Amino acid sequence: MIPPQFDYHAPGGLDEALGLLGELDDAKVMSGGQSLLPMMKLRLASPANIIDISRIPGLDTIEERDGCLRIGALVTEAQLDSSPEVAERYPILLDTARVIADPLVRNRATVCGNIAHGDPANDHPATMLALRAHVVATGPGGERTIGIDGFFHGLFMTALGEDEILTELHVPVPSAHSGGAYVKLERKVGDYAVAGVAVQLTLDDDGEVTRAGVGLTNLSFAPIRASAAEDVLTGATLVAQGGFRGAIDRVRDAITRAPDADEVIAAAAQAAADAADPVEDRRGSVEYKRNMARVLTTRAIRTALARAGG
């Protein structure tokens, strides 16, 4: 379990890091090292140069500004988990951070690294798909913003250029009556997902869904959006008339579901299962994983809906 030899670089600023990335051959950015180092130890990656950005100041902030929650490149899962802004308005992000690995990993692993890695088994991609996040990539020519739908190109493949660093994730600030949830099935605590589903809903005052986001984890070769499930939900009335009861209790339903809401939810969950394209492995058969996609989507929609009333 010893990685192949490499040269280690620890730039003190972003410009220096970008300069190194441009001039060194076969270089890889390292943030928390929680995916890169295991891959190197398993000899699945053997970069000649590691550019460790973890000491660069100013990249570890979480703040709401200009309509977005901005998650800096070095924000760790533990930091996300203890952020008051996140706790207040983005429970789906807490759901996600809390089911990743264990506290030791979460102290080092970064949210941006989780996205940059492009692993369909990672948990944040589905959540960022549901939230319609944007990725900010900084390269020699400056910054560019990439919509999350265009970011994941395949297994460990993303839209990031070899000379770019993912510097920020932008999550749109949710409007009133919005709620989200991430639900993951794992073989044991801390394991990668058998399957995971992220759902983010926005409703109008009459309980009609105006925007739905559904993202799937480990159910294809890349993180995927279940667009057909979103289409089933969008425009459906899921809350009964006068059914918003306000933020009484975050755990129990703060809404009364509309009479045919369960039928709509079942149809959306089936559409998510149909969108899944899993492979059979030690975590289960194709049929089992598809069925779990259906079950988890049902649970995620119900929790998202309850939170939208809170």
Ligand X SMILES: Cc1cc2nc3c(=O)[nH]c(=O)nc-3n(C[C@H](O)[C@H](O)[C@H](O)COP(=O)(O)OP(=O)(O)OC[C@H]3O[C@@H](n4cnc5c(N)ncnc54)[C@H](O)[C@@H]3O)c2cc1C
Could you list the residues that contact ligand X (CB under 6 A)? Answer: 28-36, 38, 73, 100-101, 105, 109-110, 112-114, 116-117, 122-123, 160, 165-166, 192
**Do 224 and 215 contact (CB within 8 A), yes or no?**
yes
Residue nearest to ligand X (CB): 113
CB of 300 to ligand X, least distance (A): 16
CB of 110 to ligand X, least distance (A): 3
Sign of CA dihedral 19, 23, 24, 27: positive
Identity of the residue, 160 or 265, whose beta carbon is nearer to ligand X in the bound complex:
160
Please, which residues bridge with residue 225 across strands? 215
Give CB contacts under 8 A, 24+ apart, made by 149-152: 149/225, 151/115, 152/118, 152/120, 152/125, 152/222, 152/223
CB of 177 to ligand X, least distance (A): 29
**Do 78 and 106 contact (CB within 8 A), yes or no?**
yes
Beta-strand pair 49-52/27-30: parallel
Identity of the residue, 169 or 236, whose beta carbon is nearer to ligand X in the bound complex:
169
Residue 129 class from Cβ within 10 Å (0-12 exposed, 13-18 middle, 19+ buried)? Answer: buried
CB of 184 to ligand X, least distance (A): 8
Rounded distance between C-alpha atoms, residue 31 and residue 53, angstroms: 6
Identity of the residue, 153 or 250, whose beta carbon is nearer to ligand X in the bound complex:
153
CB of 85 to ligand X, least distance (A): 20
CA-only gyration radius of the chain, Å: 20
Identity of the residue, 165 or 203, whose beta carbon is nearer to ligand X in the bound complex:
165
Identity of the residue, 123 or 230, whose beta carbon is nearer to ligand X in the bound complex:
123
Rounded distance between C-alpha atoms, residue 148 and residue 115, angstroms: 10
Note the Cα 223 to chain centre separation in Å. Answer: 9
CB of 211 to ligand X, least distance (A): 25
CA atoms within 13 A on the CB side of 138: 17
CB of 104 to ligand X, least distance (A): 8
Provide the phi-psi class of 31: left if phi over 0, else alpha when psi is between -120 and 50, else beta.
Answer: alpha
CB of 255 to ligand X, least distance (A): 30
Identity of the residue, 41 or 250, whose beta carbon is nearer to ligand X in the bound complex:
41
User: Which residue, 138, 157, 159, 156, is CA-closest to 17?
Assistant: 138
Identity of the residue, 112 or 199, whose beta carbon is nearer to ligand X in the bound complex:
112
Identity of the residue, 31 or 178, whose beta carbon is nearer to ligand X in the bound complex:
31
Amino acid at 48: A
